[in-house]
Amino acid sequence: MSKPTMLLTGATGVLGRAFIEELAADHHLIALRHRTAVDDPRVEELAGSLTDEHLGLGAQGFRDLARRTDVVLHSAARTGWASTREQLFAANVTGTEHMLALARQADVPFHFVSTAFVARPQSEEKREIGPAAYVDSKVAAEQVVRDSGQPVVIVRPSVVSGHSKTGEISSFQGLHKVISSVILGTVPVLPAGPESPIDTVPQDVVAEAVGRLVRRGTTSGEFWLTAGRQSLTLGECVEQALLAAERYGMPPEHPPRLMPTEALDRLILPLMEDSMPRVLRQQFRGFVELMMLFQVASTMESSFAELGMADAVSHDRLVEAFARASDFWITSKMPEREAVA
């Protein structure tokens, strides 16, 4: 029996690599990629562009690809915090419209990878760059998907960490900036209290959840791939990063203080205007904005129990996964370091 053909976007990203590991055994994967080659023998690659009406394949190439496709998994997104609002919307909204058009012509289910960050309250102010502009683009993309009238599934992963068992990840993410800042002692203050939930889920757990939806033939619904009530707190994240530093004989001299955002705004940030060089001030403000994106006011809804995967996101397993992510950061950035006996 031949394998179903899946058209996958974002294959070179962190989740894209995890999707390949999860789905390659029982799917023929066609990766539509932009500049970076996937370079995986299990994947057929097509160079293209999401911002082009025909995905950079030409009208005939677009039709040929639609004829071959049995299911679409659209996980590509522009996430660079330095990207402009126009660039983010072109890739994340217009690109989604073009992928929906292919799924419509192929008459196949469309699985859209959004982000749990859309749960954050949206400001009336339109931010031109940074995390808020990215979230705006994903909110708009979700609306395009819902309004399409097609068989669509929306999945919303929270902050993605490395592999649950090894901590391995193809490229370091914003979460690793938090880990590195704690281990190296480069940021004196983290803008949240110790009990603030930090919702993060390992990449392989997210990929398995999406794999279950695809294999079940799910064609509709919205699924929160989040830790929910099992989330770590910021205090626990800092503790695990510090324990990793101790394991490798590099405990920081000055661990960061955890300070609620309102206190940071009132007491620390005003002092920075006079006491810190402009470049460092901008870097710190960018870090604060990143941290704010990671935080949620309360625990989010989670669909893992519905998918039969509650055990995979138990609190103990998530603590262990964060520890492994911290270890992997150290061994990747400082390969000369070995765990202290």
pLDDT per position as a tens digit, 92-105: 999 999 999 999 99
- Lowest mean pLDDT: which of 61-75, 175-189, 251-265? 251-265
Going by pLDDT thresholds of 50, 70 and 90, the confidence category of residue 239 is very high
Q: What confidence score (pLDDT) does residue 125 get?
A: 47
Parse the chain into domains and list their residue ranges. Answer: 5-157
Is the pTM for the entire model greater than 0.85? yes
Of 115, 29, 118, give the one whose Cα is nearest residue 72: 29
Out of 2.40.50.100, 3.40.190.170, 3.40.50.300, 3.40.50.720, the CATH code matching 5-157 is 3.40.50.720
- Mean pLDDT for all residues in the chain: 89
- pLDDT-derived band of residue 45, with 50, 70 and 90 as boundaries? very high
HSE value, Cβ hemisphere, 13 Å, CA-based, for 336: 1
Query: Tens digits of per-residue pLDDT, 105-160?
Result: 999 999 999 999 888 755 544 555 567 788 899 999 999 999 999 999 999 999 99
Q: Which of 70, 149, 52 has the alpha carbon at shortest distance from 106? A: 70
pLDDT at 340 exceeding the cut of 90: no
Cβ neighbours for 47, distance < 8 A, ≥ 6 positions apart: 33, 34, 56
Rounded Cα–Cα distance for residues 142 and 93 (Å): 8
